[in-house]
Amino acid sequence: MNGKIGGQRPRPRVALLGNFESKDLENFRNMFSTIWPANDISTLDRIVDKREVDLIIIASEVDVAGNWPYGMHVICFSNKFMVLPGPTLFSSVKKDASATTEEFIFPDVPLPLSRLRESQYGNLTSIRGWTRLSIDIRTGSSFHGTAISANRQNKARTIFENGAIIIERATNLPLGLYYIREENNLGVSWLPFVDANQSAWVNVILTQWAQSDKDAFPSFGEWMDSPEWMVPEEKQILSQIQTLEQKKQESMIEIDNKIGELTTELAIVKANVNKGQRRLITAQGDELVDEVAKTLKDIGFNVTLVDQLVGKKPKREDLRLRHLGKGGEEWNAIVEVRGYSRSGGTTADLLRLGRFADLYKKEIGQAPDKRIYIVNSELELLPSQRQEPLASATEDLQIFSESSGILIWSIDLFRALKATDPTDYPALLESIKHAEGRWVPFDVPSPN
């Protein structure tokens, strides 16, 4: 058939063009009755007449094979090859470009192909850089004076598209394909895959082609897998396999749907946290004051926003805290909240709290128990890159501490809330009431 030369050499008769890995070569020797390996096409031309060959397998890095692919089945693994025979007359398959996106599609293919593809590429996360393939139909050509019809052009494209094994989502172009040519019943497969198990792909593709060319591939027919020739025990096991395959597909769909739901839920929670607790890390000005006030209230303090209390009077502290101990003793504090894009806080803020404490004493009749300076510093940096506020002002911080002053880093406040169960908030509150100098959250591990 197809102008082949007869003879005694057993089939399949296969030419191997290019350099294959030793494991693939060994598999090919076990797979095929007759093989002719050659590193280049000129050597292959010398050792065998192409009319004797059923199949040529082209290795990676090969860029030319003369006109051999047009007279036999061909499986090409090279991404340097430029063109292979198309599915119909006056069509060809060529390299398009390299994929520039990550997303891809696994189209429906026969089960053996699907299983091999899933085992090798089921965990694939990106096809960026893979070779895309496209079809070229010479619409200006004619055959015996008859122009190529639109129907034949559409047929060529349909065969091409139906032969896709992996598709780039952005272009809908295959990254690998196989099909049978209409005019001579010869197969074409182009798999410029990265790290493809070449002998395994050859085996599974020829199993498909053997159904239409049993003469060339007599050992690849797998007729025993047909239900027509199965005994009941085999049919029962096959049915179980098919049922499990269906359940597997349903489970994957269910898992994908659940992942989608959780992704949406995570986005909602993240948005709420960004508008809430995470402002201790990201905000300054009124936003930061509001979030600090909410946080201290959640911990258990009675919190007053001073601007709401004193109105347009001269600037005072941002917050006042009040707490009644178990014995009824009252504890009070004034709080200044500051956020800085680049600075780690200023000692001027410590002096300002001193003035606020004097005004508080004139108003209330006694000094506050604590002066608390809460700082969200170096906002332009990532949280992990920021230094503690007033890291180089240890002497000023010591003087501040001696005047019942506490420095609280808003990042430490965030970490404390993250690591503390609400049932332990009373202990967190007490740690703030009794702190001196720089507040260190009690029993708060390093962030994960």
31 membership: H or E segment, kind and range: helix 22-31
Cα(229)–Cα(243) distance, integer angstroms: 20
378 and 387 in contact (C-beta within 8 Å)? Answer: yes
> What pLDDT, on a 0 to 100 scale, did the predictor assign at position 349?
92
User: Rounded to whole angstroms, how far apart are CA atoms 367 and 153?
Assistant: 91
Domain ranges of the chain: 13-221, 228-274, 279-438
Distance, CA of 288 to CA of 282 (rounded, Å): 8
**Overall size of the chain counted in residues:** 448
- Residue 105's DSSP bridge partners are 167
Pairing between strand 34-38 and 13-17? Answer: parallel
Cα 421 to Cα 265: distance, rounded to the nearest angstrom = 23
Please tell me the distance from the alpha carbon of residue 18 to that of residue 25, in angstroms, as a whole number: 11
Sign of CA dihedral 193, 196, 199, 203: negative
SS3 call for 233: helix
Measured distance CA(270)–CA(276) in Å, rounded:
10
Bridge partners, residue 83, by sequence: 94
pLDDT score for 11: 86
**What are phi and psi for residue 102, nearest 5 degrees?**
-100, -25
Task: Identify the pLDDT of residue 67.
Answer: 92
C-alpha 289/C-alpha 275 separation (Å) is 13
Q: Residue 82 and residue 288: Cα distance in Å, rounded? A: 62
Residue pair 413/280 in contact by the 8 Å Cβ criterion: yes
- The pLDDT assigned to 144 comes to 46
SS3 content of the chain, % helix, strand, coil (to 5): 40, 20, 35
Instruction: Measure the CA–CA gap between 413 and 34, rounded to whole angstroms.
Output: 75
The pair of structure tokens assigned to 111 is 């089960």
* Tens-level pLDDT at each residue, the chain (448 residues): 445 555 567 889 999 999 999 999 999 988 888 999 999 999 999 999 999 999 999 999 999 999 999 999 999 999 999 999 999 988 999 999 899 999 999 999 999 999 999 889 988 889 999 999 999 987 654 444 456 778 889 999 999 999 999 999 999 999 999 999 998 999 999 999 878 899 999 999 999 999 889 889 886 756 666 676 788 888 888 889 878 888 887 898 899 899 999 999 999 999 998 898 999 999 999 999 999 999 999 999 999 998 766 555 678 899 999 999 888 899 999 999 999 999 989 999 999 999 999 999 999 999 999 999 999 999 999 998 999 999 889 899 999 999 999 999 999 999 999 888 999 999 999 999 999 999 988 644 444 4
At residue 325, the pLDDT reads 86
- Coil, strand, or helix at residue 91? strand
Give Dmax (Cα) for the chain.
116
Q: How much is the pLDDT for 1?
A: 40
Cα torsion 359, 360, 364, 367: sign: negative
Q: How far apart are CA 73 and CA 87, in angstroms?
A: 12
β-strand pairing of 302-305 with 319-324? antiparallel
CATH 3.40.91 corresponds to the domain 279-438: yes
Question: In whole angstroms, what is the distance from residue 161 CA to residue 421 CA?
Answer: 58
